[in-house]
Chains A and B, each alone.
Chain A
């Protein structure tokens, strides 16, 4: 039996007041959405140290937006669920919000965003929740209007939960038709738990290439449709941000630079309990 929320109800009904609250208060969800958003930001390859204007598609209650803020960016979020947006208001996120259905198109004028992220929302577009809904058409409308709203050389990165290969095919085909190029990056493909799908779309132009995360490898991989990253630690590039491995590496770098650094202990990189 399927436990996918997309199969249960349309998004604006599934994410009702109770679900929106439950979702936003769950510390495991907060963590995971945060990590996945960090990874999306990495894959955006934004110009270094420049505060950008980003679009958050399916922004929900702003868990992803909070990470965009922490990275120094301003964001505008769109979501179809009024209940999720209400919780975003309560949380006093810095982003500005609009109530909109991405399948109807991205209602912004040409070239305004430096990038777009979408965390755990894209799979909802495979639904046909109304008689008039044709997923292929909605995908195309979405991608083509998104393409227009991005500035030249901007990227859009989506973390999403595909159900099968043919959904990935359909996504990439519609995105390419709309003018994007790019592909799907699969992090930790061999781990049932950590495996994550990211659709990385580029608008062309010459993207600024930052130093981060084994870029050479990634760009090679993006050319092929299903780019894969090694699951083995450190096999390619830096470990995933905010993990223990990442922290240890960062501390080692600081030591080499002669900066004052706390010794590594078994507590390094652990979550604080919040009770002191």
Chain B
């Protein structure tokens, strides 16, 4: 699971949960893979992100070093910043661990980099 996915993912499909966001991360294995840098994509995606959630997620898995806590108004001209955002959004991946729903405490295991969001029959809305 890349942090871009974590920034979008919720547990709101659980019965009784309203926002289910942000999910907290417990990682036992994190890997970093190189991904081609596409400044245009990063520039387009940043306004859609919850940056605070991204920063905290990176911090919780030990990868917040050097990552700015806020997005500057003219971020699109700051290549240095876009590269940092690129790295944290696309290159850092949680391989093993779990996510926890902030409302219900329900845990979703992450295995081989894939979060298991399947619900039981009783959990479906």
Contact = CB atoms under 8 A, between A and B. Distances in A.
A96 B112 CA distance: 11
Contacts, number: 87
Please classify the interface of chain A as helix (H, G, I), strand (E, B), loop, or mixed, using the class held by over half of its residues.
Answer: mixed
Interface stretch (B24-32, B57-65, B76-84, B116-124): B116-124
Nearest to B36: A94
Given A50-B40, A107-B12, A99 B115 contact: yes
A100 to B, nearest CB: 4
A215 interface: no
Contacts of B48: 53, 111-112, 151
Given A107-B13, A145-B13, A130 B41 contact: no
A111 B44 CA distance: 13
Interface residues of B, number: 32
Given A109-B10, A145-B13, A151-B48, A98 B119 contact: no
A104 B1 contact: no
Given A51-B40, A80-B118, A104-B119, A96 B13 contact: no
Contact of A104 (B4, B114, B124): B124
Interface string B25-56: 00000000001001011001100100000000
A26 interface: no
Interface string A102-138: 0011111101110000000000000000101000000
Contacts of B71: none
Select the residue from B11, B38, B114, B121 with max chain A CB neighbours within 10 A.
B114
Contacts of A107: 9-13, 20, 117
Given A105-B125, A145-B13, A98 B114 contact: yes
A51 B48 CA distance: 14
Given A51-B40, A108-B9, A145-B13, A96 B125 contact: no
B95 to A, nearest CB: 11
A74 interface: yes
A176 interface: no
A99 B117 contact: yes
A99 B108 CA distance: 10
Interface in B75-109: 90
A66 interface: no
A141 interface: yes
Interface of A: 50-53, 74, 76, 78, 80, 82, 85-86, 89, 94, 96-101, 104-109, 111-113, 130, 132, 141, 145, 149, 151
19 contacts: A51-B38, A53-B45, A76-B4, A76-B5, A80-B118, A86-B112, A94-B35, A96-B4, A97-B113, A98-B1, A98-B5, A99-B116, A100-B118, A104-B125, A107-B117, A109-B9, A112-B48, A130-B121, A141-B125
